[in-house]
Amino acid sequence: MKHTDIKDIFTKKEYIGTTVTVCGWVRTARDSKNVAFLALNDGTTLQHLQIVIDKNGDCVLPEEAAKLGTSLKIIGKVVANENHGTPEINAEEITVLGICPPDYPLQKKFQKLETLREIPHIRVRTNTFNAVFRVRSVMAAAIHRFFQDRGFVYMNTPLITGSDCEGAGEMFKVTTIGYSDKYKSAEEYYADDFFGRKAGLSVSGQLEGEVAAMALGKIYTFGPSFRAEKSNTLRHVAEFWHIEPEIAFCELPDLIEFAEEMIKYIIRDYMEKCPEELKFFEERVEKGLTEKLLNVVNNDFAVVDYTDAIELLKKADVQFEYPVEWGCDLQSEHERYITEKIYNKPVFLINYPKDIKSFYMKQNPDGRTVAATDLLVPGVGEIIGGSERESDLTKLLNAMKDKGMSTDDYKDYLDLRKYGTVPHAGFGLGFERIIMYCTGMQNIRDVIFYPRTVGNIR
Ligand code: 4AD
C-alpha cells in the first residue's frame, strides 16, 4: 500500500502543499457541526498527525472512522497549521481499513503500567511502549556497531546446553519426556531423553564464548539467556537479552576500560538518535534523565575494591535489612547505596571474595579474592557482571573441586587451558537493565516485549 510515513510529514518541509496518502490508527477524535479532527498515529513517531475534515466539503467522514483504534487510509493535502505551524492534513478521502469496537482497551489517555502489563499485545500501541521499543531497537544497533567497528566477531552460542555456566542451578530443563517412576534413577531418565543426557536452556553463552575467543581473538554474543530464578523483583526476568564479549589477551583493567567505553558509546548514540523519545522519558518518566546521562558520558566511572566497599557500607549511617560483613554477597540495597548515595555515578566494584563468585574467575594472588567486576548504576543496580578468567589449568581444577563441581561436564572448557591458554576476560551486559537505566523505566517487565517471570507467561 503506497503511503507516506507520518514521521516524514513532520520532519520534511517539502511535503507542505502536496497531496499525500497516510495510514494509521485513530488516537483521538473530536467532532463538531462543521469540522471534525482526528489524531492519527502510524507508529513511526510519537507525534500524532492532525487530520482536518471539513464537513461542508466533499470529504465524507464514515461514522465508524471517528472511533479510537480504528485504522484508516487518508488522502489529503498537507498544510501548516495556522496557529503553531505544524503540518496537518486537510482530508479529501477517508477509507476505513479496520473498525475498532468500544471494548478497545486503550480508551483512557493514561493507563497504569500494571494494567497495561496484562495486555502486552495492545500496550505496544501506546506512546510509552512505542518509545521503549524504538530505543531498544536503536540500542541493539548501537551495540552491534560498537563491536563490529572494533573487529569483534558476532557469535551465536547455543541456547540449549549441557552445562550450567554459572554453576548456580538456575537452569530451565529441556526435555521431551516427563519423569516417571519407570526410571530407577535420574541418570536412567536422562539417558532415555532426547539428548541422552541432562540438558537445559543456557544461562549464559560465556563458556562457548571463551571457546570462540581462543580462536577468533575478540568475540561477542547478543541473544537470550534464561534463568529459572524465582526472584520476583523489578529487575529480574526469566528470559532476558544478554550481550557477552569475550576478549583474548585481556586483563581486568583492560576489561573495565572497555566496558566503560561501550556504555558511554551506547548512551551517546541513544541521545543522538532518539531525541524525541528521550524528551518523552524526561517529561513523563524520570525528571533529570538527560542530565544524568550527560554526566555519565562526560565523567569517569568509579572503580572500587569490594573490601573498601564493605568498609564504606559498615560506616554508613543506615540500617540495612541484610547485615554487611566481608565475604557477604552484596544485596541490591547495598549496591544501590554505593552507587546512589556514596558515588552518585556508575561504579565498577572489583575483586570480590572467591567463595561468592563463579569457578572460572581469575584467582588473585591474595588467595581469597577473584578478579571479578560488577558495574553498578544508580536506580538500577548491577547492569554488568564479568571477570578476567582463570587461565591456569591447575588453579581452575582446584576451584572446581572446592565448589564440588564435576570436571567431566567441562572437558571442552578445560581443554582451552590445556592448549595454548592465554589471559582473557569478558562480561555480560543485561540488555533490559541498560534500557531501564537509559529510559528511567522502573520495572524490567516494561522494557521487554513479552516478559516472562514466575507464574507469568503468554
Ligand atoms: O552477572 P551475570 O550472572 O554474569 C554472567 O552470566 C556471566 N557469565 C557473564 C560473562 O562474564 N560473560 O549476568 C550478567 C548480567 C547481569 O549483570 C544483569 O545485567 C543481567 O546479566 N542479568 C539479568 N537480567 C535480567 N533478568 C535476570 N534474571 C538476569 N540475570 C542476569
Q: What is the C-alpha to C-alpha distance for residues 3 and 384, in angstroms, rounded to an integer? A: 43
Q: Which residues contact 164 (CB under 8 A, 6 or more apart)?
A: 170, 171, 200, 203
pLDDT of residue 165: 67
- Torsion angles phi and psi, residue 368, rounded to 5: -125, -10
Q: Is the pLDDT of residue 434 over 70?
A: yes
Half-sphere exposure of 415 (CA within 13 A, CB side): 10
pLDDT of residue 5: 98
**Residues 250-302 pLDDT 10s:** 999 999 999 999 999 999 999 999 999 999 999 999 999 999 999 999 999 99
Q: Which residues contact 67 (CB under 8 A, 6 or more apart)?
A: 26, 29, 99, 100, 101, 102, 104
- What integer best gives the mean pLDDT of the chain? 95
**Residues 314-344 pLDDT 10s:** 999 999 999 999 999 999 999 999 999 999 9
The arithmetic mean of pLDDT across residues 161-181, rounded, is 82
Judge contact between 324 and 334, C-beta under 8 A: yes
C-alpha 231 – ligand 1 centre gap (Å): 14
Judge contact between 449 and 129, C-beta under 8 A: no
Q: Is the pLDDT of residue 409 over 90?
A: no
Q: Is the pLDDT of residue 358 over 80?
A: yes
Provide the pLDDT confidence category of residue 170 given band limits of 50, 70 and 90: confident
- Residue bearing the CA closest to ligand 1, atom 25: 236
Q: Is the pLDDT of residue 167 over 70?
A: no
- Torsion angles phi and psi, residue 259, rounded to 5: -65, -40
**Residues 205-229 pLDDT 10s:** 999 999 999 999 999 999 999 999 8
Residues 399, 404, 410: CA angle, nearest 5 degrees: 70
Q: Is the pLDDT of residue 428 over 70?
A: yes
Half-sphere exposure of 53 (CA within 13 A, CB side): 23
Taking the CB of residue 224, how many other CB atoms lie within 10 A of it? 14
User: Quick one: what percent of the chain has pLDDT higher than 90?
Assistant: 91
- Range with the poorest average pLDDT among 41-45, 49-53, 153-157, 175-179: 175-179
The arithmetic mean of pLDDT across residues 350-376, rounded, is 97
For the chain, what is the largest distance between any 2 Cα atoms, rounded to a whole number of angstroms? 87
Half-sphere exposure of 449 (CA within 13 A, CB side): 7
Q: Which residues pair with 305 in a beta bridge?
A: 350
Judge contact between 395 and 211, C-beta under 8 A: no
Q: Is the pLDDT of residue 25 over 70?
A: yes
Q: Is the pLDDT of residue 168 over 80?
A: no
Q: Which residues pair with 456 in a beta bridge?
A: 453
Q: Is 266 helix (H, G, I), strand (E, B) or coil?
A: helix
pLDDT of residue 178: 84
Q: What is the C-alpha to C-alpha distance for residues 406 and 403, in angstroms, rounded to an integer? A: 9
Q: Which residues contact 394 (CB under 8 A, 6 or more apart)?
A: none
Provide the pLDDT confidence category of residue 77 given band limits of 50, 70 and 90: very high
Q: Strand 87-98 to strand 71-80: parallel, antiparallel, or no bridges (unpaired)?
A: antiparallel
C-alpha 214 – ligand 1 centre gap (Å): 22
Q: Which residues pair with 115 in a beta bridge?
A: none
- Residue bearing the CA closest to ligand 1, atom 30: 236
- Residue bearing the CA closest to ligand 1, atom 18: 430
**267-284 as b/e, with b when 16 or more CB fall inside 10 Å?**
bbbbeebbeebbebbbee
Candidates 218, 227, 332, 348: which one to mutate for ligand 1, based on the most atoms within 8 Å of Cβ? 227
**Residues 294-314 pLDDT 10s:** 999 999 999 999 999 999 999
User: Pocket residues for ligand 1 (CB within 6 Å)?
Assistant: 165-166, 204, 206, 227, 229, 236-237, 240, 242, 244, 382-386, 426-428, 430, 432-433
Q: Is the pLDDT of residue 120 over 90?
A: yes
Residue 298 grid coordinates: 562526560
Atom of ligand 1 nearest to the CA of 245: 12
pLDDT of residue 110: 80
Provide the pLDDT confidence category of residue 163 given band limits of 50, 70 and 90: confident
Atom of ligand 1 nearest to the CA of 382: 17
C-alpha 448 – ligand 1 centre gap (Å): 16
Q: Which residues contact 435 (CB under 8 A, 6 or more apart)?
A: 132, 135, 136, 139, 441, 447
DSSP characters over 214-242: HHHSEEEEEEEEE-------TT--SEEEE
**Could you tell me which of 301, 266, 226, 284 has the C-alpha nearest to residue 442?**
284
Helix, strand, coil shares, percent, the chain, to 5: 35, 25, 40
